[in-house]
Structure 1
Amino acid sequence: MATQLKNLSDFSDSEIPSAAPFRFGIVVSEWNREITNALYGGAYQSLIDHGAIPDQIFTYSVPGSFELTAGADMLLKNLKLDAVICLGCVIQGETKHFDFICQAVANGISNVSIKYSKPVIFGVLTTDNQQQAADRAGGKHGNKGDEAAVTAIKMADLAETLNN
């Protein structure tokens, strides 16, 4: 497994542009709140650490990961944003529900990004169990929220570069 060899929060080999010029939306799933709150904390702090202005970060909650797509769509429709970060956690259960939700969320987030020509970042954990989620939400594998924030910064910067 690739994650076993990489800390999700290690960007030491990567140049990260300043987040200061950009406006970010963050949509956070309330389902698996302990995990998603940790993802949010990582994403928010990474944005701040890279120069984002707190008043330019807009955070909204949605009931579950399935609703991240609609939440991102609403943010981009109603706010002037440079990127949206979607944070959620879907943990494998005993039924195929996991597969349907993961597929729908991945496709939905991609579609919203294409619809608005804006970066919409997939910061959704899709794990086999609670421990794997915890390991990726500030645990031994770092924080996927950090990775999502850095991705949002880099993609917003790329969009600005291409639009100039």
Structure 2
Amino acid sequence: MLHSAGEYRGTVRIAADTSELPTVNGARVAVVQSKWYRDQVDRMADACRVTLRAAGCVEPTTHIVPGALEMPLAVTLLLRSDPTLDAVICLGAVMKGDTYHFEMVVDACGRGLAEVAREYLTPVINEVLPITDLADLDKRSQPDGFNKGVEAAAAAVEFIAWRRALPAAP
């Protein structure tokens, strides 16, 4: 559930409303986070875990990886080692610099995570944020409804509930 609340840089911001999240008792979720911008990413991960627990998930496992480029491989290895995971949430940030490295990293990470999700038929929530400065990341990691960790957890919970509601295969 999302609702509008406030502006940031002239655009309307949408806050996550978790008051009507479904319950997914016993769901197992892994959180993969980048070591870059650790304070902000930790705040997103903390908010993510709180939201997951409130929805009935068991305590999420947390995995720290060097950066965004390593995430697709890390998620692949996690899902190979534990195929009972209901979802994986990836949290991180990539800052735009003076070269095209930023575009390459963001694109490779996003494509890789989508590929893993399709290969393992498991939701992989991508909140690796492309940012232009630390103010962007600070805004998205505050302990409020705009925290991207809350949004990621809500997306995972909603997908898990949707998947559980699918009719059983014949």
> Structure 2 length normalisation: TM-score?
0.86
Could you give the per-residue CA deviations for residues 51-102 of structure 1, whole angstroms, max 9, x where no partner exists?
A: 2222xx2111101011111111111111120100011111111111110000
Give the number of the structure whose residues are more often helix, by fraction.
1
Match of 1:24 in 2: 29
Aligned residues: 160
| Ranges of 4+ aligned residues in structure 1 off by more than 2 Å | 1-4, 6-12
Equivalent-residue separation in structure 1 for 2:143 and 2:99 (angstroms)? 27
The unaligned stretches of length 5 or more in structure 1 are none
Equivalent-residue separation in structure 1 for 2:61 and 2:167 (angstroms)? 23
2:45 corresponds, among 27, 40, 50, to 40
1:149 CA displacement: 0.5
1:58 corresponds, among 61, 73, 93, to 61
1:109 to 2:113 alignment:
yes
* Secondary structure in structure 2 of the residue aligned to 1:138: coil
The unaligned stretches of length 5 or more in structure 2 are 1-7
> Structure 1 length normalisation: TM-score?
0.89
Q: Percent same amino acid among aligned pairs?
A: 31
Match of 2:151 in 1: 147
Whether the 8 Å CA contact 1:4–1:141 is kept in 2: the answer is no
Could you give the per-residue CA deviations for residues 125-151 of structure 1, whole angstroms, max 9, x where no partner exists?
A: 111111011101116772001000010
Whether the 8 Å CA contact 2:31–2:63 is kept in 1: the answer is yes
Equivalent-residue separation in structure 1 for 2:61 and 2:151 (angstroms)? 18
* Secondary structure in structure 2 of the residue aligned to 1:125: strand
1:50 CA displacement: 1.7
Higher relative contact order (CA 8 A, sep 6+): 1
Whether the 8 Å CA contact 1:89–1:133 is kept in 2: the answer is yes
Distance 1:45 1:141, change over 3 A: closer
Q: Which has the larger radius of gyration?
A: 2
Whether the 8 Å CA contact 2:47–2:143 is kept in 1: the answer is no
Distance 1:141 1:153, change over 3 A: closer
1:91 to 2:95 alignment:
yes
